[in-house]
A and B are shown apart, each in its own frame.
Chain A
Amino acid sequence: MLNFTIRRLVMAVPTVIIISLLIFLLLDLAPGDPTAQLPLTIPLEVRDEIRLALGLGDPVIVRYFKWLQMMLVNEPLHALEQVTGWNVAPDTQRILSWQSRSPVGDIIAQRIPQTLWVVGMGYLFGILIALPIGIISAYKQYSWFDQLGTFIAMVGFSVPVFFTGVVLILVFSVWLGWFPSMYDTTLRVTDWDSFMRQVRQMVLPVSVLALFNAAQISRFMRASMLDNLNMDYVRTARAKGLRERTVVMVHVLRNSMIPVVTVIALGVPSVFSGAIITETIFRVNGLGALLINAIYANDIPMIQTLTFIFAVLIVLFNLIADVIYGILDPRIRYD
């Protein structure tokens, strides 16, 4: 397993490099202009100077290697310095956002807390809701509970987030006034009061995301449980005279979790990439909002860096999913 992991990690390096080249070129060659958002009062000559100042004067290959060097060396070192306080960061150029002219690494670091709080919690709660629903739905297939679960999953799946989000805001913020409709990223949790404020501002976006995630994962859990409930070894377990609880929780559930855990692991990168629509509706300025904003503004360095990080996360979590699969299922051996 260790060998496999190391080999996969080594294999991931060229993959990531190729991805980086593709991302860079695709974005670079795509039509669009970082000065297009500026008011038309700014003359074209000035726009040209702005573009030169943004570094667009160099040939594309030079810019790629500059970016790659900054992405793979400078930015990680800066991140390390910020986390540990060691003085390791080189005093060289960093990747600068075209919008704010500040290092993209710092902005991304600034956005991670709220992304993880809101989108991560949405994912976590989604899983916590989905697993029991999926298990019970499968165990009591075609019961009213199963039908209800199926209905909720369909709703969560098919009703778009921008609809549920706005409905929740209208009901709970406008009519009832229970929860704020806007997320305050400056809130520091220091005491019980601020903690409760944090909880209240998280309720709406987290519920929207949890419903969506739960819909997906509960169906998956249910299907996986159903597969295993009909397996012969479950009958064997019953014939052994095991308690029903043991049969379901130990034999059925543990085997059913193998694919589900894999799916959950594969979904983790999407937590980091944020939830663009939910973040926009609730004004949670997470990574999703950052990305969509950068796209609107043609802030290419920001888009490149974010997509590259997402790509790395996806490669990484694919590997993690494989490793988890190997650990959970003794039949899988990566040699």
Chain B
Amino acid sequence: MADPARATTEPLVQVRDLKMHFPVSRGLLGRKTGAIKAVDGVSFDIMPRETLGMVGESGCGKSTTGRAVLRLYDITGGSIRINGTEIGQMSQSALRKHRPTMQMVFQDPQACLNPRMTLAGLIGEPLDEHTGWSRARKLERIYELMDAVGLNRNFANRYPHEFSGGQRQRIGIARALALNPSFIVCDEPIAALDVSIQAQVVNLLEELQEKLGLTYLFISHDLSMVRHIATRVAVMYLGKVVEIAPREALYADPLHPYTQALLSSVPDPDPETAQQVRRIILKGDVPSPANPPQGCNFCTRCPAVMPVCREIEPETREVAPGRFVACHLHDASVPTSIPTGGPTPGGASTTNQQGGSS
């Protein structure tokens, strides 16, 4: 699954067949009666200095994937290599030494900052834990980080609740950067922020990437923001990656029917073109990850569903250079008409977008 375009460099992050199942227990004795397959066999690579966007509906497992990659969970199966080190099955205590290289920026900047610690304490804590620096040196580093994310140095002794949402996210970023990580998982870092602040934070992330040579896994449900920041994009549905492609290719020509549906939902700022875009409205709800359908996970809602989809789970294959998709429509071995560039009428209802305001 190596990306031939970048074959010359080793990927920084290599995830193979990652599985994260949460046990479900019922009854008086708490017997395990099943599992929620939040992430069920996800594979992808991230190149150094690259941003992999990860999109999907809520509950599709993208956040779980992000946390599992950083081993904030003990994963059910699969392998995770970061910077050449296999961390998939590493013990949490052994993992601690590797934590400095991989960090995470969380969605809710309010909740993920300990309310009883000052800004300096929050940013400096990883330094206490992982470096033997003197107080002065640590303080110097804290100021440096605050400068880097655009926080006034005078705020060092304040508590998180005294800051605005955007500022708090800057604190979160500064904290993540404290130990010079090479890989940062950004888990919906802007979802909880005002729209006016979102751009600032995204720009900050981009700037920092530029300056520090960071590699991001950028998880978001905001397709336009992903389009803005990501180099490549992975689309997830019900615990699986259905499509991975370079940004331009994906947005111009989505291959998987789910990707198509997802992109059709993005409001177009231009009313002229918006008139012509047909929105694909998916019917029904996402099936429970505890009990996914047989065959293709998307078969219950797919507008282009075929009998084979209900039988066999499609494999992920590279259909064009750098473009991976898991869909029988793009499997040459399955005889079918291949509708590309648009949805097939029948399985899904199509509507015309009514003007710019809806």
Do A and B touch (CB < 8 Å)? yes
Are B104 and A233 in contact, CB atoms less than 8 angstroms apart?
no
- A238: chain B residues at CB < 8 Å are 72
Are B129 and A243 in contact, CB atoms less than 8 angstroms apart?
yes
Are A241 and B104 in contact, CB atoms less than 8 angstroms apart?
no
A236 within 8 A of B: yes
0/1 interface trace, chain B 211-226, chain A, CB 8 Å (1 if under): 0000000000000000
- A331: chain B residues at CB < 8 Å are 115, 159, 161
- A251: chain B residues at CB < 8 Å are 114
Are A142 and B30 in contact, CB atoms less than 8 angstroms apart?
yes
- A27: chain B residues at CB < 8 Å are none
> What's the least CB distance linking B55 to chain A, in Å?
22
- B98: chain A residues at CB < 8 Å are 241
Are B159 and A240 in contact, CB atoms less than 8 angstroms apart?
no
B330 within 8 A of A: no
Are B161 and A233 in contact, CB atoms less than 8 angstroms apart?
no
Are B99 and A239 in contact, CB atoms less than 8 angstroms apart?
yes
Are A243 and B72 in contact, CB atoms less than 8 angstroms apart?
no
A335 within 8 A of B: no
From known contacts A142-B30, A246-B129, infer whether A240 and B111 are also in contact, taking CB-CB under 8 Å: no
B96 within 8 A of A: yes
0/1 interface trace, chain A 121-148, chain B, CB 8 Å (1 if under): 0000000000000000000001000000
**With A and B bound together, what is the CA distance between A236 and B126 in angstroms?**
11
B125 within 8 A of A: yes
Are A255 and B116 in contact, CB atoms less than 8 angstroms apart?
yes
**With A and B bound together, what is the CA distance between A251 and B92 in angstroms?**
18
Are B125 and A240 in contact, CB atoms less than 8 angstroms apart?
yes
B68 within 8 A of A: no
Are B175 and A240 in contact, CB atoms less than 8 angstroms apart?
yes
- A231: chain B residues at CB < 8 Å are 111-112
0/1 interface trace, chain A 210-236, chain B, CB 8 Å (1 if under): 000000000000000000000111011
Q: Which of A233, A246, A328, A330 has the most CB of B within 10 A?
A: A233
Q: Which residue of chain A has its CB nearest to the CB of B96? A: A241
**With A and B bound together, what is the CA distance between A254 and B116 in angstroms?**
8
- B159: chain A residues at CB < 8 Å are 330-331
Are B103 and A328 in contact, CB atoms less than 8 angstroms apart?
no
B113 within 8 A of A: yes
0/1 interface trace, chain A 308-335, chain B, CB 8 Å (1 if under): 0000000000000000000011110000
A244 within 8 A of B: yes
Contact of A328 among B67, B93, B99, B116 (CB under 8 A): B116
Size of the A side of the interface (Cβ < 8 Å), in residues, is: 22
**With A and B bound together, what is the CA distance between A242 and B93 in angstroms?**
9
> What's the least CB distance linking B29 to chain A, in Å?
11
Q: Which of B72, B100, B111, B116 has the most CB of A within 10 A?
A: B116
A237 within 8 A of B: yes
Are B112 and A241 in contact, CB atoms less than 8 angstroms apart?
no
Q: Which residue of chain B has its CB nearest to the CB of A244? A: B92
B130 within 8 A of A: yes
Are A255 and B72 in contact, CB atoms less than 8 angstroms apart?
no
Q: Which residue of chain B has its CB nearest to the CB of A254? A: B116
From known contacts A232-B108, A236-B113, infer whether A241 and B161 are also in contact, taking CB-CB under 8 Å: no
From known contacts A235-B72, A331-B159, infer whether A242 and B114 are also in contact, taking CB-CB under 8 Å: no
0/1 interface trace, chain B 107-121, chain A, CB 8 Å (1 if under): 010011111100000
From known contacts A239-B70, A246-B129, infer whether A233 and B112 are also in contact, taking CB-CB under 8 Å: yes
Are A242 and B125 in contact, CB atoms less than 8 angstroms apart?
yes
From known contacts A241-B130, A242-B129, A330-B159, infer whether A236 and B112 are also in contact, taking CB-CB under 8 Å: yes
- A241: chain B residues at CB < 8 Å are 95-100, 126, 129-130, 179
- A255: chain B residues at CB < 8 Å are 114-116
- B129: chain A residues at CB < 8 Å are 240-243, 246
- B112: chain A residues at CB < 8 Å are 231-233, 235-236
Are B114 and A237 in contact, CB atoms less than 8 angstroms apart?
yes
B106 within 8 A of A: yes
- B93: chain A residues at CB < 8 Å are 244
**With A and B bound together, what is the CA distance between A246 and B172 in angstroms?**
19
From known contacts A238-B72, A241-B129, A243-B129, infer whether A233 and B99 are also in contact, taking CB-CB under 8 Å: no
17 new A-B pairs (CB below 8 Å) besides A241-B126, A241-B129, A331-B159? A233-B112, A233-B113, A233-B114, A236-B104, A236-B175, A239-B99, A240-B129, A240-B175, A241-B98, A241-B99, A241-B100, A242-B129, A244-B93, A255-B114, A330-B115, A330-B116, A331-B161
A→B interface (CB under 8 Å): 142, 231-233, 235-244, 246, 251, 254-255, 328-331
B→A interface (CB under 8 Å): 30, 67, 70, 72, 92-93, 95-100, 103-104, 106, 108, 111-116, 125-126, 129-130, 159, 161, 172, 175, 179
List 23 A–B pairs whose Cβ atoms lie within 8 Å, in order of A's numbering: A231-B111, A232-B111, A233-B112, A233-B113, A235-B67, A235-B106, A236-B104, A236-B106, A236-B113, A236-B114, A236-B175, A237-B125, A240-B99, A241-B98, A241-B126, A241-B130, A242-B96, A255-B114, A255-B116, A329-B115, A330-B115, A330-B159, A330-B161
